[in-house]
Amino acid sequence: MASPQNTRKTYTLPSGDKIPAIGLGTWQSPPNQTAEAVKHALAAGYRYIDTAFAYGNEHEVGEGLRASGVPREQVWITTKLDNPWHKRVAEGLDASLKNLGVDYVDLYLMHWPSSTRPDDLKKAYDDWNFIDTWREIQKLQGTGKVRNIGVSNFGITNLEKLLNDPSCKTVPAVNQIELHPNNPSPKLVAYCKEKGIHLTGYSCLGSTNSPLYKDKTLLALAEKKGKTPQQCLLQWGIQNGWDVIPKSVTKERIEANFALDGWELNEDELNQLSNLKDRFKVCGDDWLPVKVFFGDDE
């Protein structure tokens, strides 16, 4: 059996476009370090960068892309519409494209199902919601500025509302959600699979200071495999069928997170990680003006 080549693995979206199995995440990447991280990731072989208007680092992502010398068309770029821009979708996209210094993005996501008022971030619009936002995002298709459209942080409750609305003509190609063994979301994963929605796993390493790194099962598995716990977590995601976007600005970690070729987890090892008992979420919804997580993912 040929050894797995995960760094060249892709998942095909409904458009026919192929999203790489591993990308560089940039949420919480410190200012003045993101451009160098992007440049180094591309030099190490990454061909996928995930960013968002809300991260405030699209400009640096574009800088790193240009400095890398890798042609734009060889790199998958995902960015996201910020919550206060829900009534200004076309302008939101243009702002991101300008920041990035590119003509198009490969994937444009609604970052959260929260149509937040720009004049008061603690309040949501009373005459607009994520269904209206998706109606406007669908209009971006055919402009040449987005190749694929999707959502992020959507659970089953909100996906049901969206998909059952008559204005929803295009099923989101991707739902980017928090996915790691302490937030495995099996019901949501199965629901998206049934609907043909590909998943991207964010906080796939459990994020900064994760309790995962004290988990005896994970640590024992990593030691047995001769791999880092992070590498095992990334394999778990990819082998379960979604792409992963580990964030790092450290050269050594960027390279280590990409060292996923030539080995894999067997079924028993995958099950061990899938059955970890502890639960925690990195991202809640208490900072939003609306509730978006309803405990329906597991």
Q: Where are the beta strands (DSSP E) in the chain?
A: 10-12, 18-20, 24-25, 48-50, 76-81, 107-110, 116-117, 120-124, 149-152, 174-178, 198-202, 243-244
Amino acid type, 167 = S
Amino acid type, 57 = N
226-267 pLDDT, tens digit per residue, is 999 999 999 999 999 999 999 999 999 999 999 999 999 999
Q: Which is the catalytic residue, given 55, 108, 125, 191?
A: 55
- Sheet with strand 243-244: strands edge to edge: 24-25, 48-50, 76-81, 107-110, 149-152, 174-178, 198-202, 243-244
Mark whether 55 is an active-site residue. Answer: yes
Position 2 pLDDT exceeds 70: no
CA–CA separation, 240 and 271 (whole Å) = 10
136-181 pLDDT, tens digit per residue, is 999 999 999 999 999 999 999 999 999 999 999 999 999 999 999 9
DSSP string for residues in 199-221: EEEESTT-STT-GGGG-HHHHHH
* pTM score: 0.97
